[in-house]
Amino acid sequence: MDFSSLIIIMMSAVLVNNFVLIQFLGICPFLGVSKKLDSAIGMGLAVLFVMMIASAATWPIYALLLAPNGLGYLQTIVFIVIIAALVQLVEITMKRFMPALYKNLGIFLPLMTTNCAVFAATLLNVSAQYNYAEAMTNAFGAGAGFLLAMVIFAGIREHTENADPPACIKGLPLALFSVAILAMAFMGFGGVVENLFG
Amino acid sequence: MNPVTVSYAPHIHNHASTSHIMRDVLIALSPALAGSVLIFGMRAAVVIFMCVASAVVFEWGYQKIMKKQETISDLSACVTGLLLAFNLPVDIPLWQAVFGSGVAIILVKQFFGGIGKNFANPALTARVVMLISFPTAMSTWAEVPNAVSSATPLELVQTGALQYMPSNLDLFLGLHGGSLGETSELALIIGGVYLIARRVITWHIPVSFIGTVYILTAILGEQPTVQLLAGGLFIGAIFMATDYPTSPQTNSGRLIFGLGCGLLTVIIRVWGNYPEGVSFAILFMNCIVPFINKLTMHHALGGKKA
Amino acid sequence: MSRYAILIKGIAKENPVFVLALGLCPALAVSSLVSNALGMGLATTLVLIGTNTVISILRNVIPDKVRIPCYIVLIAGLVSIVQMLVQAFVYPLYLALGIFLPLITVNCIVFARAELFAKKNKPFDSIIDAIGTGLGFTAALVAIATVREVLGHGSWFGIPIPGLAENSISLFSMAPGGFIAFGLIIAVISKISKGRAAKLKESGCASCPSCAACGKGGAE
């Protein structure tokens, strides 16, 4: 394992295979919480944080417990239970010891259990056969990419608030068209990461 | 709902001022128009006509069907159609050109509320849509009289076939493969100087955009002059990146915008899969304009920080 | 409500994707080909039938306070079973769906039906509700996939369409085209239904665990 392969994994997850824009993961919170910049940042940070700790916990359990004992088929159940438990734990700990942070991220935490981006990150770590360092890098990149897309999209939505679309376009369709344009802008990065760091 | 619409400057109040601006842009584009027909022949005129006509028809038809006020007399649809045509290869199938016009006018402009409300440049977004949708047709270049190879200079750089590279003078005059209106920097610069003299645009975006590309490619050991003259840099920097609603409103913001466009262009050209990065770079920067505005907006004395 | 009405409402009036805007990730991610969309829709329908049945039978047994964790474990278990069935009998589909198969676990449609219907209704009605919702989800996926495959690949269900196959618009087979196709369909539905469909019913959101975050129904 060398350092450049980690950078490739991370930057690919941020730019080229962006979770929301290219892989369609975490669309619901992406569309729902991006109306205001503050909540977009809060949601993005919560996803990043939970993605990291979920990957930190699920990878060893899969590699050390499930896989060696031929229990790979339990992956779906075990992972979702771990994520649910972790989210509870984080919520309680944060409330108790970091009230300031809890005030900002608290309302987003319960949603992480059923956030498909978080669950998907843990599954992808296993299916891509990453080692522990690669898995953590991938989780960080995926979360950072989600946060980046979320923040940019919140800016666009503040702009399109002034838009005056026909009634049938207002709301969800307009948001979807905006995401499409943003996703195309990200497609220009194809190849950049591999060629730059490879 | 609040009946008062608050928008950033420049406040385009009415039809008349918009059509004045658009008329100036059309005048500024006319040298490039003449150049493209001279270089690429009559098919260029056909493509340009189809793009402009379909853009106007789409705008008119949409506003008729949606029972909205007609705005085709403000000439903005003409400008969009012309700019789109300038970004297409001469042999593009005409239905694809019409599809591009539809994307620009309806999806990118009218769905977002019409002129001044869109966050991405319509012609540019349509070009990116076509680049992704029709990769073969969008990179098939016709033979150009005088030029040795029909490939664009940037493709020659990417494939390393530098022996076919036209001379710098040919690059500057536009005698090489490429999109209709992008090849002749001479014609584009004449148009740019006209727009700056008429105060339709300021110098900030074109200069910082082109300057960044020059400096960065020099640092990276590419040939900066070729990088400047080879692709769609000038048409992008002068005509696409300076579009009012999709670029920053302050001069310092414009400098940042141009810098970002230049940086991304070089990154995509040097390392990306696409030989040309100008469109993707401007589109990406379009998306973060709200943040550049926030960062550089002046606050009135005693006013609350937004 | 008659059983027929229960069946039909999930397909049209309360279509989970087009009207309630739930389950958007799979609706966008596996809709570039009609065959994948159909497979995903049917797999989700199977999970829905399973969860609705079990939750309805156990509706008086599961304590209200711990019902959400119970649902999660139950749904994950059923998804694992469906995953194995697909892997065993339709292996190409298993490969095509990838991680979106296990991701049915966090599809809010499944949660929504458990919380809104199965929790308070008899097993037979709950099964009908699951079938209706599942078919509605499948229909929505196939509709999006039809637009995307015809435009993006020039084919339908893998059958090339003469004239279109050579002139496809590949954007529609990629991510941005998915967003655009979905947006266009919703706009058309909203136009036809004169805006009624666009108003998201509270029922769809209230039960979704992402409620507070998504901001459509809950706090923002």
Is B299's pLDDT higher than 70?
no
The answer, yes or no, to whether the previous bond of A173 is cis (omega within 30 of 0) is no
A137 assigned to some structural domain? yes
DSSP one-letter string for B212-248: HHHHHHHHTTS-HHHHHHHSSHHHIIIIITT-GGGS-
Please give chain A's pLDDT, 198 residues, in tens: 578 889 999 999 999 999 999 999 999 888 888 888 988 898 899 999 999 999 999 999 999 999 999 998 999 999 999 999 999 898 898 889 888 888 877 777 877 888 889 999 999 999 999 999 999 999 999 999 999 999 999 999 988 877 778 888 888 899 999 999 999 999 999 888 888 887
Is B7's pLDDT higher than 70?
no
Band of residue B162 on the pLDDT scale cut at 50, 70, 90: confident
Query: Which of A139-143, B111-115, C94-98 bottoms out in mean pLDDT, i.e. has the lowest?
Result: B111-115
Location of structure tokens 């928008």: B7
**Full 3-state SS string of A92-125:** HHHHHHCHHHHHHHHHHHHHHHHCHHHHHHHHHH
A193 assigned to some structural domain? no
Host H or E run for residue C155: strand C155-156
A197 assigned to some structural domain? no
Interface of A with C in 127-156 (CB under 8 A): 127
Is C108's pLDDT higher than 80?
yes
C176 part of contact set with chain B, CB < 8 Å: yes
For residues A70 and B183, what is the distance between their CA atoms, to the nearest angstrom? 62
For chain C, give the mean pLDDT. Answer: 87
Amino acid (1-letter code) at residue A92: I
Best interface-test mutation with A: which of C210, C211, C216, C220 has the largest number of A CBs within 10 A? C210
Which residue in B has a C-alpha nearest to residue A165's C-alpha? Answer: B113
Enter the ipTM: 0.92
Q: How many domains does chain A have?
A: 1
B283 part of contact set with chain A, CB < 8 Å: yes
Q: Number of CB pairs < 8 Å for A and C?
A: 151
* pLDDT at residue B297 in the model: 80
A36, A55, A59, A180, B26 from A143: Cα distances, Å: 19, 11, 16, 20, 45
Is C219's pLDDT higher than 60?
no
In contact, C103 and A107? CB cutoff 8 Å: no
Contacts of A181 in chain B (CB under 8 A): 108, 119-120, 125, 283, 287
First to last CA, chain A: 13
Coil/strand/helix, residue C159: strand
* pLDDT at residue C27 in the model: 92
Q: Does domain B15-296 have CATH number 1.10.3430?
A: yes
* pLDDT at residue B202 in the model: 94
Contacts of A190 in chain B (CB under 8 A): 272-274
Whole domain around residue A21: which residue ranges? Answer: 3-32+39-184
* pLDDT at residue C204 in the model: 43
Is B124's pLDDT higher than 80?
yes
In this structure, what token pair is assigned to residue C213?
């975050």
Contacts of B267 in chain A (CB under 8 A): 192, 196
Could you read off the pLDDT of C140-171 as tens digits, one per residue? Answer: 999 999 999 999 999 999 999 988 888 899 99
Q: Which chains touch B (3 or more CB pairs under 8 A)?
A: A, C
Could you read off the pLDDT of C170-205 as tens digits, one per residue? Answer: 999 999 999 999 999 999 988 888 766 545 443 344
Is B97's pLDDT higher than 60?
yes
Whether residues B129 and C171 touch (CB distance < 8 A) is answered with: yes
For residues B33 and B183, what is the distance between their CA atoms, to the nearest angstrom? 11
C162 part of contact set with chain B, CB < 8 Å: no
For residues C31 and B185, what is the distance between their CA atoms, to the nearest angstrom? 44
In this structure, what token pair is assigned to residue B3?
């009946």
Query: Which of A112-126, B73-87, B152-166, C22-36 bottoms out in mean pLDDT, i.e. has the lowest?
Result: B152-166
What is the reported pTM? 0.92
B128 part of contact set with chain A, CB < 8 Å: yes
* pLDDT at residue C128 in the model: 95
Report the gap between the CA of B34 and the closest CA in chain A (Å): 31
Neighbours of B123 (CB within 10 A): 28
Best interface-test mutation with B: which of A12, A22, A159 has the largest number of B CBs within 10 A? A159
In contact, A132 and A126? CB cutoff 8 Å: no
Whether residues C170 and B135 touch (CB distance < 8 A) is answered with: yes
CA atoms within 13 A on the CB side of B120: 34
Band of residue B170 on the pLDDT scale cut at 50, 70, 90: confident
For residues B141 and B92, what is the distance between their CA atoms, to the nearest angstrom? 9
Average pLDDT score over residue span C25-31: 92
Interface of A with B in 127-156 (CB under 8 A): 152, 155-156
Contacts of C183 in chain A (CB under 8 A): 169, 172-177, 180
For residues C48 and C69, what is the distance between their CA atoms, to the nearest angstrom? 17
In this structure, what token pair is assigned to residue B59?
């705008």
Q: B37-66 burial by CB neighbour count: b if 16+ within 10 A, else e?
A: bebbeeebbebbebbbebbbbbbeebbeee
Query: Nearest Cβ partner of A192 from B113, B272, B294?
Result: B272
Query: Nearest Cβ partner of B271 from A158, A162, A195?
Result: A195
Location of structure tokens 């003259």: B229
Query: Which of B159-168, B268-277, C184-193 bottoms out in mean pLDDT, i.e. has the lowest?
Result: B159-168
In this structure, what token pair is assigned to residue C196?
């009624």
In this structure, what token pair is assigned to residue C153?
């690949």
| Residue boundaries of the structural domains of chain C | 3-214
DSSP one-letter string for B279-295: HHHHHHHHHTHHHHHHH
Could you read off the pLDDT of B178-193 as tens digits, one per residue? Answer: 899 998 999 999 999 9
Report the gap between the CA of C173 and the closest CA in chain B (Å): 9
* pLDDT at residue C206 in the model: 43
Band of residue B177 on the pLDDT scale cut at 50, 70, 90: confident
C163 part of contact set with chain B, CB < 8 Å: no
Is B44's pLDDT higher than 90?
yes
A54, A101, A103 from A97: Cα distances, Å: 20, 9, 12
β-strand pairing of C155-156 with C159-160: antiparallel
A174 part of contact set with chain C, CB < 8 Å: yes
What percentage of chain B exceeds 90 in pLDDT? Answer: 66
For residues A92 and A115, what is the distance between their CA atoms, to the nearest angstrom? 19
For residues B265 and B213, what is the distance between their CA atoms, to the nearest angstrom? 7
For residues C152 and C165, what is the distance between their CA atoms, to the nearest angstrom? 9
* pLDDT at residue C125 in the model: 94
Whether residues A181 and B120 touch (CB distance < 8 A) is answered with: yes
* pLDDT at residue B9 in the model: 45
In this structure, what token pair is assigned to residue A117?
């981006």
In contact, A70 and A191? CB cutoff 8 Å: no
